Chain A
Amino acid sequence: MAPMLQSSQPWVEKYRPKQVKDVAHQDEVVKVLSNTLETTNCPHMLFYGPPGTGKTTTALAIAHQLYGPELYKSRVLELNASDDRGINVVRTKIKDFAAVAVGSGHRQGGYPCPPYKIIILDEADSMTEDAQNALRRTMETYSKVTRFFFICNYISRIIEPLASRCAKFRFKPLSEEIMSSRILHICNEEGLNLDSEALSTLSSISQGDLRRAITYLQGAARLFGSNISSKDLISVSGVIPQEVVQALFAACKSGDFDLANKEVNNVIAEGYPVSQMLSQLFDVVVEADDISDEQKARICKRLGETDKCLVDGADEYLQLLEVASNTMRALCNMPQEFSFES
């Protein structure tokens, strides 16, 4: 692919660090990899942690820094969930790539060019266990001439025999300070104004996920111009206005089923994501000081069950109505058991 004009890329890509040393907040891995750049020694690696914390960035950066643009294609294989990584592909594609010998380990064009290839398996937690097992052999057979980088959100989804062969690094959610400093850097480059309230809103709604923060920032900048307020950011983030959540909660408190049903219908018609509603309702319930712990427990139990149902693909309206009905019954001390069930 021909290199594109920088400016046509979304900001998330535009501001992706190109060098390992520019990856923020993940000091441990940065230290190890900086060392790699000097000695060219590199173990197999496993990066895990929540989204938007720099895992993919780090793997791509070290690969580029080791080989440079010329050799990158022949030395680095990046496979992610957008590739078929069924067991056959693992057996053939990775093997074919690993089997072709690399030249000697001489520096070329200012890049270290160590005498091994790198195979990056991004989003490795979506690989089946069978495919992972097939990988064990390949890893052993070609251990001299390849280094594997596994990247995933959940380390528990990587089978033990693979994980135990790697140096593991946990990528931490970015702290508010680091987030703020990256965001301010982008604001500077793009000529944006963000007051301190907006800055702290952005850090808190993104919950340590810098990708989200950058996406929101760009959205707000494009929609509302270069002076961005806290409200602008909330409106692009999909957070539901507190009045809407309160209205639903109040309807549940009223004990009037039809009123609650009306509010539920409204939430759906307004297009608010029910999963988001659940988490905001959760906050309201937990913080309320006029309801008992038992009531809270009853409501939260249902919230948990509903979350699972939504993940299974259940209908949003029916699920939210069920939550509203349960919340109402808990708040109004109606019995937990139904009367007419046989």
Chain B
Amino acid sequence: MLWVDKHRPKTLDQIIVHEEVAQNLKKLVTEQDCPHLLFYGPTGSGKKTLIMALLRQMFGPGAEKVKVENKTWKVDAGSRTIDLDLTTLSSTHHVELNPSDAGFQDRYIVQEIIKEMAKNRPIDTKGKKGYKVLVLNEVDKLSREAQHSLRRTMEKYSASCRLILCCNSSSKVTEAIRSRCLNVRIHAPTEEQIVKVLEFIGNKEGVQLPSGLAARIAEKSNRSLRRAILSFETCRVQQYPFTSNQAIPPMDWEEYVSEIASDIMKEQSPKRLFQVRGKLYELLINCIPPEIILKRLLFELLKKLDAELKHEVCHWAAYYEHRMRLGQKSIFHMEAFVAKFMSIYKAFLIATFG
């Protein structure tokens, strides 16, 4: 098992970084009338961990006995029946699912499946709680329609069911849903907090972790706990005993993006654009989300540019990322950004050096 999973704290009392939130959550569920919850914050900040520990607090160890189910639901969509494949993770007390997996059909998941689950009281009579919990991941990726469909369900069946919603950007969750939940913000851990977790894991694994190395891993993690723990384990595989200044291997895809940035700073031509397209495709094929690639590319470019160009380039990155959301083929927009950058940069070089 990877360290990120192996050392995930199981109970609210074991939580290291968001201790205060964890203690608050404990108080929250002592009463029967717990409101719906919306957890939001960057990836790798510890949301999932807190939610799992919270379920355990509510229902005891039984909440950890989960089974994964793949089921095809037949949904009556008026004139025709559609098949929706859905993966759920469930215990006797809760069900976890990712409704946005259904893409543009996500509304049916909310209208048919989630409502059905919310309606039915938990069968378990020995249970401590009179309600069950639905955990919905990535609610920020739900369409507006699907979000609207969720509103009244949250009110109507609140006696039998609590929702725990989880997302990265709460701006993308409609006001109507946010105002029906207690909002819990989970900030990315600070570098010091990350070091603490790394030391904790180092202890458990019985490895000697020099503080210099821990600090460098934390610094390179971009405040993502998951990422820090993953690099820590990679370092362990690559070189042990550790030294303070040993290399921390970057992620492959990030190196690749950094190459693209160098490529387009060196040469601005149709030929180069064509080569870069190949590399962008390569990244997309490896399932790196297009907006992540674009942001990383911007990050690399900003490191190398003059101040006056930075404004211009960040403008176009935002512009093309927005267009990408509205369009369908992300490669077009990424390529357009690269071409735009080449044109600006070339004009800049000519103006500066003639």
Contacts and interface: CB of A to CB of B under 8 A. Distances in A.
A82 B158 contact: no
Contacts of B169: 273-274, 316
A275 B173 CA distance: 10
Given A2-B121, A338-B312, A341-B312, A88 B155 contact: no
A313 interface: yes
Contact of A257 (B41, B172, B182, B307): B307
B158 A218 contact: no
B295 interface: yes
Nearest to B32: A8
Contacts, number: 209
B101 to A, nearest CB: 17
Contacts of B130: 4-5, 8
B309 A261 contact: no
B344 A273 contact: no
Contacts of A274: 169, 171
Interface string B24-58: 10011001111110001110010000000000000
A80 to B, nearest CB: 4
A22 interface: no
Contacts of A236: 182-183
Interface in A210-259: 211-212, 215, 218-219, 222-223, 236-238, 257-258
Given A82-B153, A312-B322, A51 B175 contact: yes
Contacts of B315: 322, 325, 338
Contact of B321 (A209, A268, A315, A334): A315
A51 B152 CA distance: 12
A56 interface: yes
A218 B33 contact: yes
Nearest to A317: B295
Contact of A215 (B111, B148, B180): B180
Contacts of A8: 32-33, 130-131, 159
Contacts of B318: 309, 314-315, 318-319, 321-322
Nearest to B298: A318
Contacts of A316: 169, 171
A324 to B, nearest CB: 9
A272 B159 CA distance: 30
Interface SS, A side? helix
Interface string A312-342: 1111111101100100110000100011111
A89 B112 CA distance: 14
B41 A52 contact: no
Interface SS, B side? helix
Interface residues of A, number: 71
Contacts of B31: 222
Most buried by A among B119, B153, B307, B321: B321
A309 B291 CA distance: 14
B194 to A, nearest CB: 12
B208 interface: no
Given A10-B158, A86-B78, A222-B27, A271 B186 contact: yes
Contacts of B77: 84, 86
Interface in B101-125: 108, 110-112, 115, 119, 121
Nearest to B40: A271
11 contacts: A4-B160, A7-B32, A8-B32, A12-B180, A13-B155, A126-B149, A236-B182, A310-B172, A312-B325, A313-B172, A318-B291
Across the A-B interface, the 9 shortest Cβ-Cβ residue pairs: A88-B78, A271-B41, A4-B159, A80-B152, A275-B171, A219-B182, A322-B318, A340-B347, A269-B188
